Amino acid sequence: MTTARQLHSPLADLDSLTSQHRKAIGQLREFARDVIAPTAARRDGAPLGTVEWDLVEEAQALGGLRMGLPEALGGLGFTAEGLGYTLEEFAAADPGFALILGATGLFQTPVMLSNDDRLTSEYLLPFLGDQPILGCNAVAEELNGTDLVLATNAEHAVDMTTAVPDGDVYRLTGKKKYITNAPVARYATVMANIEGHPGSTGLTCFVVDLQWAGVERGTTHDKLGYRTAPAGELIFNNVEVPAENIIGGPSGGWDLNTTIGNITRVTCAAIATGIARHSLDHALAWATSRRQGGKFLFEHQMSARKIADMAASVEASRALWTKAARLVDNSLPVPEFEPAIAKMVADKAAIDNANAAMSLIGAQAFQRDDEMERIMRDSFGPRIYEGSPEALAMTITAHLCK
């Protein structure tokens, strides 16, 4: 039997990071490989909405729920690049677990961008304790998908969650859908349209404690993949939110939404790369142990080509997301083009590699108890999250055709 070389993201890639960050990333990656990966199938098959809190607590102890918080606030202070390396590793183990951490970061990012000491004290402080607390970013709605991704579509949004000003507070009414961590999160950033503005042109970001009166958790979604991360609806029934909990000012939601989307596409691309890598690792393990026609599968030319294409996809995806991450870390405004390209290529790599691995492994991969079944389902996650290829194409061509 020939040994397959596992394609973990090479440590050499971490050279651009500080030694403290390298150490923290190393600990989280080890946790992902040694603890999360071997238990992924268990979480995938668990009853809907189950969260393995003991493992989330382990991740929290290593800093997994405060990766992006600045060191001055007690966080790990990861850059987009550091986050990407960490989430790629979690995605190669269990992308749903990566998403639990990532969605919490999605809540924290606008709070950090607010540069408001009060919001920071109230809503980031709880992440410093040992009890794991999750956050979420509530944007999508039943009738509003791309109309909340592309600013040019803003006026076409319908039946938006509405914020009605009432003295020192705003009253939020409406329903958010497809929100990762919604069934279990403590805090949310909620994008609502201020009453009187057409479509979503009055989009505004509110920080909401999901324990406040009027907040209801709706349906928990029965998703195809990423089943470790519960997702669902958040219903707001005339929820009173202090005006001081607005980030970016009234009607400032679109700028924030676009910026966060551009940042998050990088980590989403890293997660897609992790899934693509997982398919490759799984296929390699098979191709280097399975013999047909008197030789290993990888020695057959057609199979070799498949494996080479998969490896090239992983490397290309990583090259693109690391380039985008470095730009996000070092330029203002946050770039749109590179994160969109990275995400579009990486999500295709995730699906293509799962497809290729299915073909290469054959009947064994078609069994429910084979890991490929889960990888195949998970591979479609990055296609949907943070903008479909159709939405990304609009961003990319807008940049090229200015």
List of residues contacting other proteins (CB under 8 A): 61, 66, 71-75, 117-118, 120-123, 125-126, 128-131, 167-169, 209, 212-213, 240-242, 244
Smallest distance from other proteins to CB 189, Å: 16
Q: Which CB atom, from 6 or from 131, has the smaller least distance to other proteins?
A: 131
Beta strand 246-247 pairing with 203-209: antiparallel
Q: Strand ranges (DSSP E) for 181-280?
A: 187-194, 203-209, 215-220, 231-242, 246-247
- β-sheet bridge partners, residue 193: 162, 203
Smallest distance from other proteins to CB 34, Å: 17
Structure letter (DSSP) for residue 62: T
Smallest distance from other proteins to CB 215, Å: 12
Smallest distance from other proteins to CB 110, Å: 18
Smallest distance from other proteins to CB 369, Å: 36
Q: Could you tell me where the DSSP H helices lie in 331-369?
A: 337-361
Inter-residue contact 394 to 61 (CB < 8 Å)? no
Give the separation between CA 104 and CA 180, rounded to whole angstroms.
Answer: 9
Q: What is the H or E stretch that residue 178 is in? A: strand 169-180
Phi, psi values for residue 187, rounded to 5°: -125, 155
Smallest distance from other proteins to CB 264, Å: 24
Inter-residue contact 71 to 202 (CB < 8 Å)? no
Give the separation between CA 357 and CA 278, rounded to whole angstroms.
Answer: 10
